[in-house]
Amino acid sequence: MADFFDQLNSTLFLDIETASLTEKFEDLPQRIQEEWLRKERNIHPANPNTDPGSLFFERAGIHAEFGQVVCVGVGYFQLNKKEKKLAFRSKCYAAADERELLLAFKTLLEKKKWILCAHNGKEFDYPYLCRRMLIQGIPLPEPLQIAGRKPWEVRHLDTLELWKFGDYKHYTRLELLASVFGVPSSKDELDGSQVNRTFYLEQDIEKIKKYCLRDVEVTARVYLAMNPQGEELDIEIIHLEDSVKNPKD
């Protein structure tokens, strides 16, 4: 039990929310427009009559070359052994300028020898963050540096991978895992498919931040459920002040 909580104390749970690089396809630089049209043909090869650029608003945000990070939510546990209570401290990094957001997040990653944990993090969150940092001219912080490292040297956990138990064809949504473990949903007001509209059309970054933090908390609770320690611990949720302020706040 002690070893588990020692590792838990160094585990940073995270989730990112992304949006298309621009609101309108026509606002992209010409070279990027041409590349998106190539990507679009691969997305729907059976429908060549799709209007050029018509998929950009709905689909571009999931591709780091055509999207941007608009919010990073993080959280970590602190154990009070005497009271048998876990405090989960979480915060958001969100800013109008993506580079400012990523630099602030980089500073956090460099403060401690973190173990990172995200749902589908190895396929999405970690590589997306790496790509956007490099595009923004930001050197990768140590926890995101994996080139040349042996697998056991990479401190990346992924609740999706843990749940697969080696079954690599099996994909399980975070919401499904939350359901089977009795963890409250994060999808009450928003889901990932609505982030772009919320960011550009509603301009409601607070709604996105709230959703992102709930996903971080759900991931952390699912991780605990997947590592039962034989006793129930109370969890106190503490939201820390955002590190990066949105100019509109």
126-to-14, 118, 158, 194, 232 alpha-carbon distances in Å:
10, 8, 10, 21, 31
152-to-55, 96, 212 alpha-carbon distances in Å:
39, 36, 29
Of 59, 73, 95, which is closest to residue 211 (Cα–Cα)?
73
139: pLDDT strictly greater than 70: yes
With 0-12 / 13-18 / 19 or more C-beta atoms within 10 angstroms meaning exposed / middle / buried, residue 177 is buried
> Per residue in 152-206, pLDDT tens?
899 999 999 999 998 877 789 999 999 999 998 766 678 888 999 999 999 999 9
pLDDT score for 235? 79
pLDDT score for 185? 76
> Per residue in 202-244, pLDDT tens?
999 999 999 999 999 999 999 999 988 756 677 777 877 666 6
Question: Which band of pLDDT confidence, cut at 50, 70 and 90, is reported for residue 248?
Answer: very low
What domains lie within the chain, and their CATH numbers? 2-21+66-239 (3.30.420.10)
The pTM score is 0.91
Of 196, 189, 188, which is closest to residue 18 (Cα–Cα)?
196
52: pLDDT strictly greater than 70: yes
The residue ranking higher by pLDDT, 236 or 70, is 70
The amino acid occupying position 101 is: L
Tell me the C-alpha distance between 37 and 25, whole Å. Answer: 10
> Per residue in 96-121, pLDDT tens?
899 999 999 999 999 999 999 999 99
